[in-house]
Amino acid sequence: MNSNFTELLIIDDDCCHNILCALALKKIFRTSNVNMTCFTNSEEGLAYIMQSAMSSKKTLLFIDVNMPRLNGWQILARLEQLPKTLTKHLDVYILTTTPNMRDEYRALKSSLVKQYLQKPISNHLHSIFAGQPLQLSVA
């Protein structure tokens, strides 16, 4: 398991998913000193990331695609505009309830995105932390 993360962030407007995700992640990181923060407001989540980008904290970021205000693609586009020195500590996972090949391709074109995942992410956590590539079937 890759436990060198010091920050775990979830940006998703679905409160229930955030709670389930946080509970699953807490089980994995129960003995480590990892700061976990969930945002249901995408603008607040982006502001937090931009502010904390100056630190060298290894950050695991889960972003939902479909959200009001700023969607996941808009957040990703803003992160991609940052200098690589600020994003090199950032591992991004794109989340969706309705996967499609076009979105998966779009996500994986980004050097920041590690994987494109269908919710709930609790189904994928073992693969994420074991460093295994996921076999995601997209209908």
Q: Side chain identity at 102, as an amino acid letter?
A: R
Hey, what domains does the chain have and what are their CATH numbers?
Answer: 12-97+110-130 (3.40.50.2300)
Give the CB-side neighbour count of residue 55, counting CA atoms within 13 A.
11
pLDDT digits (tens, 9 = 90+) for 30-58: 656 788 899 999 999 999 999 888 888 88
Quick one: which H or E segment has residue 27?
A: helix 15-28
pLDDT digits (tens, 9 = 90+) for 67-99: 999 999 999 999 999 999 889 999 999 999 998
